[in-house]
Amino acid sequence: MRLDWKAVLGIAISALLIWWVLRGVALGEVWAEIQGVRWGLLLAAVAVATSGFLLRALRWKLLLHPLKPDTGLGNRFAAVNIGFAANNLLPARVGEFARAWAISRLEPVSVSGALGSLVVERLLDAIAVFSLLAVALLHPSFPADATVGGRPIAALVMTVVVLLAAVLGGVLLLLLFPKLFLRMADGVARFLPERAARLLVNGLRSFLGGLTALQSPRLLVGALAWSFAFWGWNAVSFWIAMHAFGIQESYVTALFVQAIIALGVAVPSAPGFFGTFHAAAVVALVEVYGVGENATLAFAFGYHLGGFIPVTVLGLWYAARMGLSMRDLGHAEEDVEEEVEEEGRREVRQEEALEMDRATPAPLGETPSPSGDATTTTGEPIDGAPGRGDP
């Protein structure tokens, strides 16, 4: 595990945001709000949130289908929990690498393909979250005149939507012209340091491998349906948790809070999304909906910690069953990068071998038939060569 500049930056951002949300706050009053929590509702919210990881594992089957159609639910669920536990305990968002590495050990799938499927998963998450955010923004109960930092919240959200549309447009181009983008990446890589060049080319190959699931309408529609199911279900946990801390807001408000927190935790942070989660909750509930600051902070810290514990314990348990230590998980990024590079080299060698086969002329008196069967110049199969109907 490397404590590089990304990890240091994340820790610094978390510390700054924790200071921001607690500045001028009477901690005793926040503690009193926490003590007054309705424990039954909080436990129900945590149970709903934790069960959502099963929905993630169910969706992942569709994204892994091009690599292996019948991956086991138990293995996918184990890898999901290992990944989130790593994100909760280790710096620099190593959890995605740990998850891809874990599933490649539990199922016969390439680590690069698994990593590509997770990139696609994040894309589907963004589509679902912001579609549900649009529902909240268009609902009559939304405070349309709300501002954040002096700017209308609608304008800020529109900026994010435009950026998301640009990303979706880029993904569509990648789906339509994958070979063109690979050639462009190869061209750019010539001007980069060796390691950066490998990361660019191999990363693009992994992403394109993950995109193969989107080329099937059945897989795409199914994955989108699971994405909406997961985020709709996850918003239920937000709604229940808000009521546990006395925040009497609607399910529509929970959709908005969920989306803003999803945006917030995308910012680099310390392990476990400390600071980013809490600051986003304050922006959504205090600045937009006018909820009391003490109740909001009690909700943010209580619900965040409640959701943090189960998935972390499950992830560590599954990791122990696989014989993985925290050190192993901490090195997941380096291990995945090495394996992706090796897979990339194998693909290049295979492509070069195919090119050589195409360039090698057929033996005198033989021509390749359109079907690929060996034939004579008269078009008859060569004795001993398998034809169309042969095994």
Give tens-digit pLDDT for 76-131.
999 999 999 999 999 878 999 999 999 999 999 988 889 889 988 998 999 999 89
* Chain-centre distance for alpha carbon 139: 28
Averaged pLDDT for residues 269-282: 97
- Note whether 112 and 209 are within 8 A (CB): yes
- pLDDT score at 338: 79
E strands, 127-241, are 147-148, 151-152
| pLDDT surpasses 70 at 325 | yes
Averaged pLDDT for residues 33-42: 97
For residue 89, give Cα distances in angstroms to 160, 304, 309: 29, 14, 11
Report, in this order, helix, strand and coil percent for the chain, each rounded to 5.
75, 5, 25
Q: What is the H or E stretch that residue 166 is in?
A: helix 153-176
- pLDDT score at 19: 98
Q: What is the H or E stretch that residue 94 is in?
A: none
Q: What is the H or E stretch that residue 364 is in?
A: none
- pLDDT score at 347: 66
- pLDDT score at 377: 39
- pLDDT score at 148: 76
State the pLDDT confidence band at 172, using cuts at 50, 70 and 90. Answer: confident
- pLDDT score at 195: 76
| pTM score, whole prediction | 0.83
| pLDDT surpasses 50 at 378 | no
pLDDT in tens, 339-370: 777 766 666 666 667 777 777 765 655 555 54
Helices 95-106 & 332-359 angle (0-180, nearest 10): 60
Q: Report the chain's mean pLDDT, rounded to a whole number.
A: 86
- Say which DSSP state 216 is in: S
User: Which residues have a Cβ under 8 Å from the Cβ of 115 and sit 6 or more positions away?
Assistant: 96, 97, 100, 206, 210, 336, 340
- pLDDT score at 179: 85
What does the angle CA 219 – CA 225 – CA 230 come to, to the nearest 5 degrees?
A: 125
State the pLDDT confidence band at 384, using cuts at 50, 70 and 90. Answer: very low
